[in-house]
Amino acid sequence: MKIKKHKEKSRLIVFQGENILVLQKLNNETQYGFIGGFLEPGESPETALIRETFEETGVQLSEEDLIYHCSVTIEQSEKQRLTKHYFFCRDPYKPFGLAEPHKFKSIMWVHWEQVVKSLGKSDKKIAKQLFKLCNIDY
Domains and CATH numbers, the chain: 5-133 (3.90.79.10)
**pLDDT given for residue 1 in this prediction:** 55
* pLDDT per residue as tens digits for the range 17-33: 999 999 998 886 678 99
Dihedral over alpha carbons 30, 39, 87, 119 (to 10 degrees): 10
* pLDDT per residue as tens digits for the range 44-85: 999 999 999 999 999 999 999 999 999 999 888 888 999 999
Residue 63: which region, alpha, beta or left (left: phi > 0; alpha: psi -120 to 50)?
alpha
Residue 17: which region, alpha, beta or left (left: phi > 0; alpha: psi -120 to 50)?
left
Mean pLDDT of the chain: 90
Query: pTM surpassing 0.85?
Result: yes
